[in-house]
Amino acid sequence: MEAQVARAGQPHDLFWIVAVRANGKCEYCGLDGKENLHILAGFCLDHIIPRSANGGDDLDNRTLCCAPCNLSKLSWNPADGTDGTLTRDALIERVRSYLGPNPPEWPYYVALQKELREGTRS
Ligand SMILES: [Zn+2]
How far is 65 from 47, CA to CA, in rounded Å?
A: 9
Q: Cα(110) to centroid of ligand 1, in Å?
A: 11
Overall number of domains in the chain: 1
Ligand 1 centroid distance, CA of 31 (Å): 6
- 44: domain CATH number? 1.10.30
Terminal Cα-to-Cα distance of the chain (whole angstroms): 29
- Write out the chain's pLDDT in tens, 122 residues: 344 454 555 567 899 999 999 999 999 988 888 877 888 888 999 999 999 999 999 999 999 999 889 988 999 999 999 999 999 999 999 999 999 876 556 666 677 777 878 887 66
What pTM did the predictor assign?
A: 0.76
Tell me if 3 is assigned to some domain.
no
Sign of the four-CA dihedral 107, 108, 113, 115: positive
In a domain, 55, yes or no: yes
CA–centroid distance, residue 83 to ligand 1 (Å):
26
Could you give the CA distance from residue 11 to residue 63 in angstroms, rounded to a whole number? 14
- Ligand 1 mean position, distance from CA 1 (Å): 28
Domain annotation covers residue 25: yes
Residue 62 structural domain: 12-118
Length of the chain, please? 122
